[in-house]
Amino acid sequence: NINALFKEHVKFIIAGRMSLSFIQQNLEPLYGQFRSYDRFNDKYELYCHTVQTEWNYTQHRPYKGDTVSELQNAPKLSHPRGA
């Protein structure tokens, strides 16, 4: 549950399909220059890039009978398919 991770301030990585518009919006502008030495991680043997993004965080509080909604900043680590 992503909301639970935000609530506990846990850092996490999300993998997604390239066909998702959310992924395409962030990767399309830099896809041509993505496979450069600067973006290669020797430890994991993949090309990576971190993008700051926003997430609509929602928490239902049954003890108060309300729902808290706020915009959270979430870093996203992404890499090209086949790297």
12-24 pLDDT, tens digit each: 777 777 788 877 8
| Close Cβ partners of 56 (under 8 Å, ≥ 6 residues apart) | 69, 70, 71, 72
Q: Is residue 65 part of a domain?
A: yes
Nearest Cα residue to 76 out of 49, 56, 58? 49
Show Cβ contacts of residue 39 under 8 Å, excluding neighbours closer than 6 positions. 47, 48, 49
Digit-by-digit pLDDT tens for the chain (83 residues) are 676 777 777 777 777 777 888 778 877 887 777 778 888 888 888 877 777 777 777 888 899 999 988 777 665 545 554 44
Task: Tell me, yes or no, whether 15 lies in a domain.
Answer: yes
User: How many separate domains does the chain show?
Assistant: 1
In a domain, 54, yes or no: yes
Tell me the C-alpha distance between 45 and 59, whole Å: 37
pLDDT for the residue 80? 52
Q: Is residue 83 part of a domain?
A: no
The residue segments making up the domain with residue 10 are: 2-78
Pair 68, 58: CB distance under 8 Å: yes
9 occurs within a structural domain: yes
